[in-house]
Structure 1
Amino acid sequence: MKKFLSLLMAVLMMASVLAGCGGDTTTDETEQDANTQDTTTEQTGTNVSPLTGSGTELKFRTGGEQGTYYGFGTVLAQAVTSSGCNTKVTAVSSNGSQDNIEQMDYNTAQLGFVQSDVMDYAYNGTNLFEGYPVTGFSTVAALYMEQVQIVTCDPEIKTVADLAGKTVSIGASGSGVFYNAIDILSAYGLDYETDIKAQYQDFGNSADSLQDGKIDAAFVVAGAPTTAIASLATAKDTYLVSLDDEHIAKLQETSPYYEKYVIPEGTYDGVPEATTVAVSAVVIARDDVSEEDVYNFVYTIFENADSIAASHDKGKELDLEFAAGVTNVPYHPGAAKYFAEKGFEVPTK
């Protein structure tokens, strides 16, 4: 009898360890299950999701290696992968929002960072996706605001109007920066094909070209501070071109997804305060990614926001209400499940 009891206890202990990351938690969890969860959290330093992931590697397309998407996306991918719930995420660099959506449509990626405006273009088949809508994806979470930063090393360029006749980088092919640049230039009565000398460069190449004097200004759409601009500001006098209220209002008449945003002085070394507009940085997922994996992704980020914030400044902007505030593209069921547990109802397909 004693041998039988000993064997039974060993089986129960092994089952509790194996269940540390599996199954939905309920209000009547056993004390043993709770202790197992506490032990897992203490060992990993992470609040571990109650669901078990698929174990399949999920490719998470981000942005250029000197942009915020890549830096923050790498932190998020590592946090989820190391959380212990068998959801594996690998961050990879990319050409930005449009590229991310297209690669997800081809199923060469399962997750991606996108600008909220580009996500809307794709879902409704407009602008970058004119006549070719992509609808096989869902919202995971909005994570932070990303600012339209017009960068120059020329102190004589004080307004967008001053860009006339100048050599200006308006973003890499496949990025959302291009349309942001067109929107803002248009609000000031400038045509990118005739009124400026347009260059098509990513963040890093734009910063290098500014430092070398090859271009006069560059549009960079990313969460401030952005690595490429920060590096430029330490090497050369750098300025951010401000937008005025009249032209911001004109811009919002046709593009209501833009929000006025002030980049404070001190965001970059020696760069004064600047007024601009911003869009939301949103993570999306293919519809066929498992509910468990998406739940684990969102759970890990928001239940461990403090530790993520210690690894990347954008973690300080994580906010549940903002994350659940997307209305133009429905949420993935896995994300909706997590937000519902937190008291936020989000639209789903």
Structure 2
Amino acid sequence: MRFTVFTGAAVAIALTATTGFAQDRAGWPDSFTVGTASQGGTYFAYGSGWANLVADELGISGGGEVTGGPMQNMALVHTGDAAFGMTTMGPAAESIQGTNPIAPGLQMTNACAMFPMYQTPFSITALSSSGIASVKDIPEGARIGFGPAGSTSDTYFPRMIEALGVKFERRNGGWSDLGGQLQDGLLDVIAFAAGVPVPAVSQLEVQTKVNIIEFTEEEQGKILETFPVSSFEIAADTYTTLEKNARSVSMWNFAIANCDLPEDFVYAAVNVVMSDNERMVNIHRAARSTLLENWDKNEVMKWHPGAAKWFNENGASIAADMIHGS
């Protein structure tokens, strides 16, 4: 097998062709990983997709890494064990405050905002044969799968379900595994917090009849009053099962970068992701929200200087006190 060694000048020329500007790559890593979540979930599909895209465009080895989700990603990026990652606003806030269960007391302030991804809806799915068609139908002691331990779903969904008066047995696992357990009758319900369509739910739809359960107005209102979420509707065309939009709640997701990464490296990576939304949507439909105008959905993390530079050059107005190191 023959390997081609590129000179620094050749790399600079290649980067100019793909990104529109030359880079001297001083201090850039030779490779990078993006902390995602378990296979079968949106984080893994979306994160692996943009990791591969950035790697291809910038000529660096990189890819997605299976992790426990947002809480672990905050820890991995904070320590530099992963260059990039993905998190939701709730786990990000808890991590910065020092209440991340992975490292209680450690304020994870070295994980910086990189770009907005999408909203994570909280959605409930059951087999149609179970007769469970609403939250009130969930029987006492129901076996509910909440995703990987420490994920956004596992952190917040059990609290939400408890607030709605449901008593249940808590189960954890990867999205694909939980979908299989539901189909095999080992679970009664799966409660996922993930970008839609959730691959595991889409796969279930192909194999069996499912009920995608929406919140009532009263249930939604109670959750909005109690948790750091926003109102959301899962569009009817998201799943073949849905005949109309389904009432839900959601939490925003952001890509994150280790704050010590070179400014021009992060700038270049953000440029690859944000400059062509159609290319991102081809990776995952949830990327329809990976848009410049959603920069203001981050009110929790300091921005990486390279990311802030890209957004401010393109019409955002990120304040200096929200930029790391300023």
Same topology, TM > 0.5? yes
Match of 1:62 in 2: 36
1:336 to partner: Cα distance:
0.5
Counterpart pick for 2:263 among 291, 302, 306: 291
Counterpart pick for 2:162 among 146, 162, 186: 186
Matches within 5 A, 1:173-252: 173-190=149-166, 195-252=167-224
Question: Alpha carbon RMSD of aligned pairs, Å?
Answer: 2.4
Moved more, 272-281 or 102-111: 102-111
Q: Give structure 1 stretches of 5+ with no counterpart.
A: 1-13, 23-36, 42-46
Q: Secondary structure at the match of 2:218?
A: helix
1:222 to partner: Cα distance:
1.0
Match of 1:11 in 2: none
Match of 1:265 in 2: 236
Match of 2:4 in 1: none
Q: Which has the larger radius of gyration?
A: 1
CA distance, structure 2, for counterparts of residue 330 and residue 150 of structure 1: 33
CA distance, structure 2, for counterparts of residue 216 and residue 241 of structure 1: 13
CA distance, structure 1, for counterparts of residue 259 and residue 251 of structure 2: 23
Aligned residues: 309
Q: Secondary structure at the match of 1:289?
A: coil
Match of 2:306 in 1: 334
Quick one: which amino acid aligns to residue 139 of structure 1?
A
1:166 to partner: Cα distance:
1.0
Counterpart pick for 2:54 among 67, 74, 80: 80
CA distance, structure 2, for counterparts of residue 197 and residue 149 of structure 1: 18
CA distance, structure 1, for counterparts of residue 35 and residue 105 of structure 2: 24
1:125 to partner: Cα distance:
2.3
Counterpart pick for 1:145 among 119, 126, 147: 119
1:87 to partner: Cα distance:
5.0
- In structure 2, the CA distance between the partners of 1:16 and 1:167, relative to structure 1 (3 Å rule), is closer
TM-score of the aligned structures, taking structure 2 as reference length: 0.86
Contact 1:145–1:280 (8 Å) recurs in 2: yes
Counterpart pick for 1:89 among 62, 82, 104: 62
CA distance, structure 1, for counterparts of residue 107 and residue 199 of structure 2: 33
1:249 to partner: Cα distance:
2.1
Q: Does 1:157 align with 2:132?
A: yes
**Alpha-carbon deviations, 1:237-271, whole Å to 9, x = none?**
1111111222222222232x311111122322233
Counterpart pick for 1:133 among 107, 129, 132: 107
Moved more, 314-323 or 277-286: 314-323
**Alpha-carbon deviations, 1:2-60, whole Å to 9, x = none?**
xxxxxxxxxxxx998665467xxxxxxxxxxxxxx5xx25xxxxx44554541421211
CA distance, structure 2, for counterparts of residue 326 and residue 244 of structure 1: 28
**Alpha-carbon deviations, 1:89-136, whole Å to 9, x = none?**
321111211121222344321211111211111111236465443222
Contact 2:295–2:316 (8 Å) recurs in 1: no
CA distance, structure 1, for counterparts of residue 302 and residue 23 of structure 2: 22
1:219 to partner: Cα distance:
1.2
Contact 1:143–1:323 (8 Å) recurs in 2: no
CA distance, structure 2, for counterparts of residue 251 and residue 295 of structure 1: 37
Contact 2:124–2:190 (8 Å) recurs in 1: yes
Match of 1:119 in 2: 92
- In structure 2, the CA distance between the partners of 1:236 and 1:162, relative to structure 1 (3 Å rule), is same
Moved more, 170-179 or 151-160: 151-160
Contact 1:140–1:332 (8 Å) recurs in 2: yes
**Alpha-carbon deviations, 1:261-319, whole Å to 9, x = none?**
11122322233442111111211111111111211111111112222323332333321
Quick one: which amino acid aligns to residue 307 of structure 2?
A
**Alpha-carbon deviations, 1:45-95, whole Å to 9, x = none?**
xx44554541421211111111111111122112111114x5543211112
Quick one: which amino acid aligns to residue 315 of structure 1?
A
Contact 2:95–2:107 (8 Å) recurs in 1: yes
Quick one: which amino acid aligns to residue 280 of structure 2?
I
CA distance, structure 2, for counterparts of residue 198 and residue 179 of structure 1: 12
1:147 to partner: Cα distance:
1.1
Q: Does 1:308 align with 2:275?
A: no
Q: Secondary structure at the match of 1:83?
A: helix
CA distance, structure 2, for counterparts of residue 260 and residue 219 of structure 1: 17
- In structure 2, the CA distance between the partners of 1:65 and 1:196, relative to structure 1 (3 Å rule), is same
Contact 1:240–1:272 (8 Å) recurs in 2: no
